[in-house]
């Protein structure tokens, strides 16, 4: 079995700072990590490989430094890493991203064998659109299972996969055909620690690096900024509110004072809360 | 936009030189909202989007249409009828029993076909698990732009959709345009837009469109559906009163104080993200950028610092009350009312005081 896992290298967003004057993102010195959601996809893929045999290929599109994230993925036990990097990919929105990733997956397919499954994370922590998984599936003509909590069965003979998909009001148990694309839900597994042997291998392993041309991109105008129907017109910090919170004095009876202040500000709340409270 | 080199700087070159909309897109007119229904229930986010869509349509002086997709019968008919009460000028409907369950293949075909036939300029969907699954497939099929999780939708002077969304976990906002492609697609999360008022109106024009599939065309099968247990289902996003706790509470035991207060005032309880990460509270209770957006009449936050990622999920509340030991905590920058004190002591007192105040007994006393 061959599984491709798409991972994205993202800035550790907890540490992102915004320039106070220009409102631009200051990326310098911000450490990068594998998008945390992608680790659930990677672990799910590694578990299936351990169970059914085969190989896991990790794929990322990003700057040359995204190699760090691929090596990290190899330490967890991925078998092969592919870096798609080219200045033509810069500035891609999700449509241009899926064009590039789908093209690379076709190339992976001819070079290393057609994937039975493609995994992505649910979303990233920077762009955060959750659109790349469905986009890749559509471009490759793969069936898609999104928000998957659990892969409950995989039958390589019958070429079927059963999965539990989170929907708004419950869980759908779906059966579909391989090859298919799965976007994995968070907190569904725990990434392994990785074996010492994998860590040693990862440090030296060759990374497959493809430019747009090497990946088989036929139409460069579909890549990067040029291939993106959406454009960011403006980036700005949210407006600060002028009003500060009215602070309640902490006197003898702070709870009563707070409740009085709440009902004074919103008189209708008293009857509404009483009605709500009676419902319990 | 996405990859590292140019995120910070807006796409100045392209943004500055707006190209002419290609001829074949000029026929694209009107604002559409996808009405999400699952198992006979319309998701409230669809009506919220009708409110936002109505404003866009009025500004553009075009029609607002609702797209209703579902099985034949009562539920789908009534979703169409309701759409008029929430401002639709007309309804496009694909009703077929193969659409009883949401499946990506059949819904993508239904929505893509209607778009290609009747050509909207703007198409809005809820950013739910269903809406995101569908929107990503439809936008890729149509090869058009899709802006995710918008918090504001507006029409620019030249008639293009200006879709504003938070990025980097809410620390920044950006406004995104889809200039030379149609339709301009966007998703919005539940509760981000206010619920418009429902006005009883007669059923108007309904345009039916065939699905054009047989069951054998659809590969994916629904083996079963396990609805969430009612007790497990939180109504957090739509609650009128919410009480939430954060790391300042110090322990899972102290979080019980939040739940006790919530019970007494008939509120839903919620929390900040670290409590979910620590396993103190389940993830469906998380409030904020990567959790639920809430719009209650009253929000009480205890031991929550008010990080931007939390803030964006609560700013729609009518009254935000913060309890925090640190008078410089950022939450006091956007709370309406605050008290600088130990929440672990105040919460039980608050619970007792509310109980006394709200009991029927005390109300009789007030009345007499
Ligand atoms: C501020 C900001 C706002 C943006 N808003 C939009 C928008 O509204 N619409 C739009 O079309 N684009 C938008 N983009 C661009 C978008 O972020 C990029 O196209 C990005 O390359 C992929 O989208 P994502 O990060 O949202 O991924 P998601 O769709 O959230 O990612 C889902 C999964 O796809 C996989 N994946 C994503 N990117 C890669 C990659 N480069 N390599 C390998 N696997 C990957 C990962 O497994 C990931 O978990 C925005 C970018 C930024 C920085
Ligand atoms: C990509 C991303 C997405 C995120 N999404 C979310 C999200 O959706 N929701 C979310 O909430 N966070 C989110 N976060 C995390 C967010 O940045 C903050 O880390 C988090 O909100 C902080 O939680 P907190 O306020 O409970 O804890 P802290 O920031 O540690 O604050 C604790 C507060 O309690 C106060 N305190 C301490 N003791 C007491 C006491 N006895 N009584 C009263 N007050 C006391 C302290 O003064 C402090 O202000 C996200 C972060 C990232 C990077």
Residue ranges lining ligand 1, Cβ < 6 Å: A 6-8, 35, 37-38, 41, 59-62, 92-94, 97, 101, 120-121, 123-124, 126-133, 230; B 1-3, 7, 146-148, 165, 167, 174, 176
Contact B333 A240 (CB under 8 A): yes
Which pLDDT belongs to residue A116? 98
C-beta separation of A130 from B136 below 8 A: yes
Are both B139 and B237 inside the same structural domain? Answer: no
Q: Tell me the three state secondary structure of residue B143.
A: coil
What is the pLDDT, as a whole number, of residue A14? 60
d(CA A271, CA A249): 25
Greatest Cα pair distance in chain B:
74
B200 and B248 in a single domain? The answer is no
Put simply, whether B125 touches A (Cβ < 8 Å) is: no
Domain boundary among B217, B245, B264: B217
Looking at the fold, whether B211 and B77 belong to one and the same domain comes out as: yes
Q: Are B35 and B68 in contact (CB under 8 A)?
A: yes
More confidently predicted of B253 and A239: B253
Contact check, Cβ <8 Å, A235/B10: yes
The ligand placed nearest to the CA atom of residue B342 is 2
Token look-up 């993106």 returns: A228
Asked if B306 and B350 sit in the same domain, the reply is: yes
Helix axes A94-112, A132-140, angle to 10 degrees: 50
CB B298 within 8 A of CB A269: yes
The alpha carbon of A28 is separated from its chain's Cα centroid by a whole number of angstroms, namely 22
Cβ neighbours of residue B238 under 8 Å, at least 6 residues apart?
Answer: B44, B191
H or E stretch at B95: strand B90-95
Which stretch of A12-16, A181-185, B44-48, B338-342 has the lowest confidence by average pLDDT?
Answer: A12-16
> Do residue A91 and residue B346 have CB atoms under 8 angstroms apart?
no
Structure tokens belonging to residue B282: 């389940």
| Band of residue A24 on the pLDDT scale cut at 50, 70, 90 | low
Nearest to B132 by CA among A46, A175, A132: A132
Q: Give the closest ligand to the alpha carbon of residue B254.
A: 2
Q: Which whole number is the average pLDDT over A235-252?
A: 81
Query: Which two tokens mark B360?
Result: 């029927």
Positions in chain B whose pLDDT score sits under 70: 1-19, 168-171, 230-233, 360-368
Would you say B69 and B107 are in contact if contact means Cβ atoms under 8 Å apart? yes
Residue B225 resides in a domain = no
3-state SS class at B355: helix
Please name the helix (run of DSSP H) or strand (run of DSSP E) that holds residue A261, with its range, or none: helix A254-265
A 10 A CB-CB count for B368 gives 5
Name the residue at shortest CA distance from atom 2 of ligand 1: A127
Q: How many domains does chain B have?
A: 2
* Cβ-contact A176, A153 below 8 angstroms: no
Q: Is the pLDDT of residue A91 over 50?
A: yes
Q: Which residues of B touch A27 (CB under 8 A)?
A: 4, 7-8
The residue to which tokens 């898609």 are assigned: A144
Is residue B287 domain-shared with residue B261, that is, in the same domain?
A: yes
In angstroms, the Cα distances linking A99 to A63, A92, A117, A131, B219 are: 17, 10, 18, 12, 24
What whole-number distance in Å separates Cα of residue A215 and Cα of residue A152? 34
- Domain match, B202 and B262 both: no
Tokens representing A146?
A: 């999104």
- In chain A, what is the straight-line distance between the N-terminal and C-terminal CA atoms, in Å? 54
Suggest the residue from A238, A246, A253, A266 to mutate for an interface test with chain B (most B CBs closer than 10 A): A238
Query: Which residues pair with residue A81 across a beta bridge?
Result: A58
Q: Do A231 and B177 touch (CB under 8 A)?
A: yes
Q: How far is CA A72 from CA A58, A66, A75, A102, A126, in A?
A: 10, 10, 5, 23, 19
Q: Are residues B197 and B265 in the same domain?
A: no
User: How close are the terminal C-alpha atoms of chain B, in Å?
Assistant: 65
Dist CA B125 CA B107 (whole Å): 13
Residues of B in contact with A254 (CB under 8 A): 339, 341, 346, 349
Q: Is the pLDDT of residue A2 over 70?
A: yes
Q: Is A49 in a helix, a strand, or coil?
A: helix
Q: What CATH number is attached to the domain comprising B282?
A: 3.40.50.1220
Pocket around ligand 2: residues whose beta carbon is below 6 Å from it?
A 13-14, 125; B 169, 246-248, 272-274, 286-291, 303-305, 307, 309-310, 313, 323-326, 329, 342-344
> What does DSSP assign to residue B100?
S
Contact B114, B209 (CB under 8 A): yes
Picking from A90, A134, A147, the nearest residue to B5 by CB comes out as A90
State the DSSP H helix or E strand holding residue B323, giving kind and residue range, or none if neither: strand B319-323
Task: Measure B289 CA to ligand 2 centroid, in angstroms.
Answer: 12
Contacts of B131 (CB under 8 A, 6+ apart): B34, B36, B45, B125, B187
Of A62, A173, A233, the CB nearest to B176: A233
- pLDDT tens digits, one per residue of A37-82: 999 999 999 999 999 999 999 999 999 999 999 999 999 999 999 9
What radius of gyration do chain A's Cα atoms show? 24
Residue B184 and residue B247 in one domain: no
| Angstroms from B351 CA to nearest CA on chain A | 8
> What is the Cα B351 distance to its own chain's centre?
31
Containing structural domain, residue B35: 20-217
Q: What is the pLDDT of residue B4?
A: 37
**In whole numbers, what is the pLDDT of chain A averaged over residues?**
92
B163 in the same domain as B133: yes
* Nearest C-alpha neighbor of B243 from the set A278, A253, A267, A262: A262
Tokens of B222: 């629904």
| Dihedral (CA of B305, B309, B311, B316) sign | negative
Listed by start position, the domains of chain A span 2-222, 239-280
Q: Give percent helix, percent strand, percent coil of chain B, each to the nearest 5.
A: 40, 25, 40
**What secondary structure does DSSP assign to A145-206, as a single string?**
EEEEEEEEEEETTTTEEEEEEEETTEEEEEEEESSEEEEEPTTSS------HHHHHHHHH--
Helix pair B129-142, A132-140: axis angle to 10 deg: 50
Domain match, B113 and B241 both? no
Pairing relation of β-strands A143-155 and A160-167?
A: antiparallel
- One domain for residues B135 and B239: no
B chain contacts of residue A177, beta-carbon cutoff 8 Å: 219-220
B322, B340 Cβ separation under 8 angstroms: no
β-strands B205-208, B122-126 pairing: unpaired
Mean pLDDT score, A179-196: 94
- Residue B169 maps to which CATH number? 3.40.50.620
Write out the two tokens for A253: 């009876």
| Homologous superfamily of A2-222 | HUPs (3.40.50.620)
Q: What is the pLDDT averaged over residues A247-276?
A: 91
Give the span between the Cα atoms of B338 and B358, in whole angstroms: 21
- Could you tell me the CA-to-CA distances from A138 to A98, A219, B104, B142, B209 in Å, in that order? 9, 18, 10, 11, 23
Q: Quote the pLDDT of residue B167.
A: 76
Q: Has residue B160 been placed in a domain?
A: yes
Ligand nearest to the CA of B257: 2
Residues B112 and B159 grouped into a single domain: yes
Q: Is the peptide bond prior to A179 cis by the omega test (within 30 degrees of 0)?
A: yes
């Amino acid at each position: 079995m061959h599984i491709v896992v798409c991972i994205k290298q993202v800035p550790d967003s907890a540490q992102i700072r915004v320039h106070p004057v220009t409102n631009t993102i200051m990326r310098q010195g911000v450490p990068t990590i594998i998008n945390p959601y992608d680790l659930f996809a990677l672990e799910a893929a590694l578990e299936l490989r351990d169970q059914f045999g085969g190989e896991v290929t990790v794929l990322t599109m990003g700057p040359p430094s995204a190699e760090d994230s691929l090596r990290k993925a190899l330490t967890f036990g991925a078998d092969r890493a592919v870096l798609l990097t080219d200045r033509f990919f810069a500035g891609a929105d999700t449509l241009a991203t899926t064009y590039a990733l789908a093209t690379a997956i076709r190339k992976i397919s001819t070079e290393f064998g057609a994937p039975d499954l493609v995994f992505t994370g649910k979303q990233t922590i920077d762009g955060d659109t959750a659109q790349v998984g469905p986009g890749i599936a559509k471009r490759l003509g793969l069936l898609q299972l999104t928000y998957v909590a659990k892969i409950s069965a995989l039958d390589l003979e019958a070429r079927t996969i059963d999965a539990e998909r989170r929907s708004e009001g419950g869980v759908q148990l779906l059966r579909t055909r391989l090859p298919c694309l799965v976007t994995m839900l968070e907190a569904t597994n725990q990434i392994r620690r990785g074996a010492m042997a994998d860590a040693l291998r990862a440090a030296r392993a060759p990374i497959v690096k493809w430019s747009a041309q090497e990946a088989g991109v036929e139409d460069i105008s579909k890549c990067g900024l040029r291939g993106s129907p959406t454009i960011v017109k403006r980036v700005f910090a949210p407006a600060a509110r002028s009003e500060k919170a009215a602070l309640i004095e902490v006197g003898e009876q702070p709870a009563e004072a707070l409740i009085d202040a709440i009902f004074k500000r919103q008189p209708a709340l008293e009857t509404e809360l009483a009605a709500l409270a009676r419902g319990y | 936009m996405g990859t590292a080199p140019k995120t910070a700087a807006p796409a100045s070159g392209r943004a500055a030189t707006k190209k002419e909309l290609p001829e074949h897109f000029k026929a694209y007119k009107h604002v559409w909202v996808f009405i999400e229904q699952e198992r006979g229930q319309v998701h409230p986010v669809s009506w919220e989007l009708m409110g936002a869509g109505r404003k866009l349509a009025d500004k553009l002086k075009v029609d607002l249409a609702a797209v209703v997709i579902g099985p034949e019968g009562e539920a789908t008919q009534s979703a169409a009828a309701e759409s008029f009460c929430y401002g639709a000028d007309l309804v496009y409907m694909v009703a077929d029993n193969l659409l009883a369950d949401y499946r990506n293949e059949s819904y993508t075909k239904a929505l893509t076909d209607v778009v290609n036939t009747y050509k909207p300029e703007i198409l809005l969907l809820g950013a739910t698990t269903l809406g995101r699954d569908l929107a990503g497939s439809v936008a890729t099929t149509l090869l058009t732009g899709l802006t995710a999780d918008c918090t504001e939708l507006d029409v620019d002077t030249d008639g293009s959709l200006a879709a504003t969304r938070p990025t980097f976990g809410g620390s920044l906002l950006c406004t995104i345009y889809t200039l030379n492609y149609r339709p301009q697609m966007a998703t919005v999360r539940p509760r981000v837009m206010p619920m418009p008022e429902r006005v009883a109106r007669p059923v108007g024009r309904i345009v039916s469109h065939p699905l054009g599939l047989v069951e054998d065309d659809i590969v994916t099968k629904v083996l079963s559906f396990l609805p969430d247990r009612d007790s497990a289902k939180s109504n957090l996003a739509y609650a009128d009163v919410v009480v939430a706790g954060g790391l300042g509470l110090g322990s899972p035991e102290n979080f019980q104080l939040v739940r006790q207060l919530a019970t007494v005032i008939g509120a839903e309880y919620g929390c900040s993200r670290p409590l979910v990460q620590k396993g103190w509270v389940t993830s469906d209770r998380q409030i904020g950028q990567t959790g639920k957006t809430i719009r209650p009449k009253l929000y009480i936050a205890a031991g929550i610092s008010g990080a931007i990622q939390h803030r964006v999920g609560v700013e729609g509340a009518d009254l935000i009350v913060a309890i925090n030991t640190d008078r410089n905590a950022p939450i006091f920058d956007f709370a309406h009312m605050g008290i600088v004190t130990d929440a672990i002591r105040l919460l039980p007192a608050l619970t007792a005081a509310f109980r006394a105040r709200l009991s029927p007994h005390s109300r009789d006393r007030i009345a007499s």
